[in-house]
């Protein structure tokens, strides 16, 4: 018999689900990374007038699904070992102002279909993604220039480029990205690295949201007029190697499947495809 359990905060959620999630760490790197950050901060993830959401569905003592959501963001779905668990999740979220769902494609679509059938509206695909994992860097031919870690003095440039990244890849998230950089703490927050050439920054790579053994890489951004020179490739390889040197076993990143260039670049430096993810918008 399937049972849904809802948790008050990230710590309780991970106390139940972390081992199951970590068995497929790459597939679950987003949930583990975000949940872990909230747990370390001893925060519930609540804000902006509504609580965060953390839930698992189990068969006996064995989880078959985990889900979490922080306010204003999509529901994040784990891999789903029993599709019947999605029905319990849809029922439990009744009344939530849910903008969308992100997860394994089949599970995300099934959830969206159930949501629309029970709550009305419609849904549409926003982005088809691929999750990659790296355990060893294949160093590319180095681009001109060198890497350095961004500091508080770089905040205006980071804001410009992180917002530009989202406006290009996912415009609906640009405003939230801008607010995130405004609140960014260079000492404790996400790391940002810059590749510099000819006296100035030419590319950006972020790293953060650690999982039990890994680190998620992103965003990766180079202004359009500076692309094609190997800056992003060199910087992504550098940052990935830095994370491994600091004790991480893996690095993870997401790519947009509509961008064959980036998918090729990441594989060339050692990233291997693990699984796909789908971002769906719920409307109406």
Looking at the predicted structure, is the pLDDT value of residue 46 above 50?
no
> What's the full length of the chain, in residues?
284
For residue 228, give every residue at least 6 positions away whose Cβ sits within 8 Å of its Cβ, in sequence order, or none: none
DSSP state at residue 225: G
Chain-centroid distance of CA 90 in Å reads 22
Cβ atoms of 277 and 102 within 8 Å: the answer is yes
pTM of structure: 0.94
Cβ atoms of 167 and 157 within 8 Å: the answer is no
Over the stretch 237-265, which tens digit does the pLDDT of each residue have? 999 999 999 999 999 999 999 999 889 99
Give the confidence band of 45 by pLDDT, cuts at 50, 70, 90. Answer: very low
DSSP state at residue 50: B
Mean pLDDT of the chain: 94
**Distance between CA atoms of residues 211 and 252, nearest Å:** 10
Over the stretch 122-156, which tens digit does the pLDDT of each residue have? 999 999 999 999 999 999 999 999 999 999 999 99
Give the confidence band of 71 by pLDDT, cuts at 50, 70, 90. Answer: confident
What is the percent of the chain where pLDDT is above 70?
Answer: 97
HSE at residue 231, side-chain half, CA atoms within 13 A, is 25
Q: Select, from the ranges 47-56, 177-186, 218-227, the one with the highest average predicted confidence (pLDDT).
A: 218-227
Give the confidence band of 228 by pLDDT, cuts at 50, 70, 90. Answer: very high
DSSP state at residue 153: G
**Distance between CA atoms of residues 239 and 146, nearest Å:** 12
- How many degrees, rounded to 5, is the angle at CA 84 between CA 79 and CA 89? 75
Q: Which of 33-37, 110-114, 172-176 has the lowest mean pLDDT?
A: 172-176
Average pLDDT over residues 204-212: 97
Taking the CB of residue 160, how many other CB atoms lie within 10 A of it?
15
pLDDT attached to residue 172: 79
Looking at the predicted structure, is the pLDDT value of residue 50 above 90?
no
Looking at the predicted structure, is the pLDDT value of residue 44 above 70?
no
**Distance between CA atoms of residues 55 and 65, nearest Å:** 8
Chain-centroid distance of CA 278 in Å reads 12
Strand-pair partners of 215: 251
Give the confidence band of 42 by pLDDT, cuts at 50, 70, 90. Answer: low
Give the confidence band of 41 by pLDDT, cuts at 50, 70, 90. Answer: confident
Cβ atoms of 273 and 130 within 8 Å: the answer is yes
For residue 168, give every residue at least 6 positions away whose Cβ sits within 8 Å of its Cβ, in sequence order, or none: none
**Of the candidates 131, 132, 75, which has an alpha carbon nearest to the alpha carbon of residue 107?**
75
């Amino acid at each position: 018999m399937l049972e849904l359990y809802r948790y008050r905060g990230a710590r309780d959620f991970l106390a139940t689900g972390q081992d199951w999630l970590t068995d497929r760490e790459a597939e679950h790197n987003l949930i583990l990374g975000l949940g872990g950050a909230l747990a370390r901060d001893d925060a519930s993830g609540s804000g902006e007038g509504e609580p965060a959401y953390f839930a698992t569905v189990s068969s006996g003592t064995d989880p078959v699904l985990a889900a979490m959501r922080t306010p204003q963001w999509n529901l994040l779905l784990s891999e789903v070992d029993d599709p019947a668990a999605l029905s319990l999740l849809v029922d439990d979220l009744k009344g939530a102002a849910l903008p969308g769902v992100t997860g394994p494609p089949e599970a995300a679509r099934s959830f969206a279909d159930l949501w629309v059938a029970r709550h009305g509206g419609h849904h549409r695909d926003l982005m088809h993604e691929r999750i990659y994992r790296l355990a060893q860097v294949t160093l590319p031919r180095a681009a001109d220039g060198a890497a350095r870690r961004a500091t508080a003095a770089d905040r205006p440039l980071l804001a410009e480029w992180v917002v530009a990244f989202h406006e290009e890849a996912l415009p609906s998230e640009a405003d939230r990205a801008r607010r995130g950089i405004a609140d960014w703490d260079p000492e404790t927050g996400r790391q940002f690295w810059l590749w510099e050439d000819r006296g100035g920054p030419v590319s950006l790579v972020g790293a953060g949201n650690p999982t039990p053994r890994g680190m998620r890489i992103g965003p990766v951004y180079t202004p359009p007029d500076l692309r094609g020179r190997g800056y992003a490739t060199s910087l992504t390889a550098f940052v990935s190697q830095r994370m491994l040197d600091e004790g991480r076993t893996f690095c993870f990143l997401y790519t947009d499947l509509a961008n064959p260039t980036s998918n090729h670049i990441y594989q060339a430096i050692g990233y291997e495809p693990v699984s796909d993810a789908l971002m769906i918008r719920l409307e109406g």
